[in-house]
Amino acid sequence: MYLAIPKENINGETRVAATPGTVKDLIKSGMEVYVESKAGQNSYFSDQEYKDAGANIVDSEDELLSQADVIIKVLAPSNEQVLKIKPNAAIISFCQTTRELDAVKAMRDRSLTGFSMHLVPRTTLAQKMDALSSQANIAGYKSVLMAASRLSVYMPLLMTAAGTIRPAKVLVLGAGVAGLQAIATAKRLGAQVEAFDVRPVVKEQVESLGAKFIQVEAGEDEGVGEGGYAKETSDEYKRLQQQLIHDHISKADVVITTALIPGRPAPLLIPTSMVDAMKSGSIIMDLASENGGNCELTKKDETITHNGVIIDGTSNIPGTMPVHASELYAKNVAALLTYMVKDGELNLDLEDEIISGSMYTHNGEITHKPTKETLTA
């Protein structure tokens, strides 16, 4: 089986879908691995390292894609790339299938089998394949460092000859993987941390990291959706939520927002009126910017200032740490791919929860129901 690892062709994407370490594992599974020249350059992996791991280096993207049986990428292929791929080949990448509809249609029309790392089921067996969590961990960690580098005050409490410096106040909205890592990182830097989430079940995790959990008094399952993800809440809950956040955000030096709902635009947590109530010099790190943002003023991949408040909409924070981001993502992809490979060939058991759950196109059809419904809506 010819496995291709092309170079990512979207400006600013520094990650790569396989590292020399995972190449060795993929070869052990019976695959012939071909890597486009300089595919790992932005992640600091050289062609020679891939060669030493047993991969073949290919100079031409056209040659690489046209020969491939399976292609692994970070981002979904462009329409131009799809046309270079032979029908019935398989592609594994990130793809927000209900939003990246042009990519989905191009894959369907080319009779390609598409697997999205966004769709990997949240099950115990699939934990090693959970790329969303591995990348969210990085985003949560690095977002705190990015905020701290811009902050005009210290993070920790300091006792000096000139007097006592109070610790910075950090508010984290959303206590999933990214939020919990942001809490842990901010606490390690000595900040005073509060966190909010619509799911009361995360309170214990938040408090175990030393942060204060703030919550709207509501039903236990008000914000808990399938697989433990957040879901849409009632209008009354949203009203109470807005008041609660307003009361705390006005005192914060740093606000990190991480709230996402699978398959939906990011929920609006911080309207302009709330930004107006914040202190001048405070910072909002909006980790949901790719899906529209949790702050009304967020602009994807831009940093703006509104009434002295800095709002950072960087969408690919994991890409600012390309070595570890690539290492983790490559392990997630390799775990999914080797799970589907038997005796060196792709073996697609459509009754398997992981395989069918991750798949969105196959045999010229869109197999992911929410994506199909979005296209026909």
Summarised one tens digit per residue, pLDDT across range 32-48 is: 999 999 999 999 999 99
Q: Which residue has the higher pLDDT, 344 or 91?
A: 91
The H-assigned helical ranges of 189-268 are 203-208, 235-249
Q: Tell me, what's the pLDDT at 90?
A: 98
The separation between CA 114 and the C-alpha centre of its own chain, rounded to angstroms, equals: 18
Neighbours of 342 (CB within 10 A): 12
What does the mean pLDDT of the chain come to? 94
Number of residues in the chain: 377
Beta strands in 68-110 (DSSP E): 70-72, 90-93
Q: How many helices (H) and strands (E) does the chain have?
A: 13, 19
Residue 369 has pLDDT above 90, yes or no: yes
Q: Tell me, what's the pLDDT at 222?
A: 57
Residue 12 pLDDT level (bands cut at 50, 70, 90): confident
Residue 227 has pLDDT above 80, yes or no: no
Summarised one tens digit per residue, pLDDT across range 190-217 is: 999 999 998 899 999 999 999 999 998 7
Residue 232 pLDDT level (bands cut at 50, 70, 90): low
**309 phi-psi bin (left φ>0, alpha ψ -120 to 50, beta other):** beta
CA dihedral 9, 12, 15, 20 (to 10 degrees): 70
Residue 221 has pLDDT above 60, yes or no: no
The amino acid at residue 138 is I
pTM for the structure as a whole: 0.93
Take residue 170 and report the two structure tokens written for it: 């950090």
Instruction: Tell me which residues are annotated as active site.
Output: 122, 127, 130, 133, 229
Q: Which residue has the higher pLDDT, 237 or 77?
A: 77
- SS3 label, residue 230: strand
CA atoms within 13 A on the CB side of 30: 12
Q: Tell me, what's the pLDDT at 376?
A: 87
Residue with token string 């059809």: 365
Summarised one tens digit per residue, pLDDT across range 96-153 is: 999 999 999 999 999 999 999 999 999 999 999 999 999 999 999 999 999 999 999 9
Residue 308 has pLDDT above 90, yes or no: yes
Residue 238 pLDDT level (bands cut at 50, 70, 90): confident
Residue 181 has pLDDT above 80, yes or no: yes
Residue 84 has pLDDT above 70, yes or no: yes
Residue 224 has pLDDT above 70, yes or no: no
Could you give all domains of the chain from N- to C-terminal order, each with its CATH number? Answer: 2-119+321-376 (3.40.50.720), 136-315 (3.40.50.720)
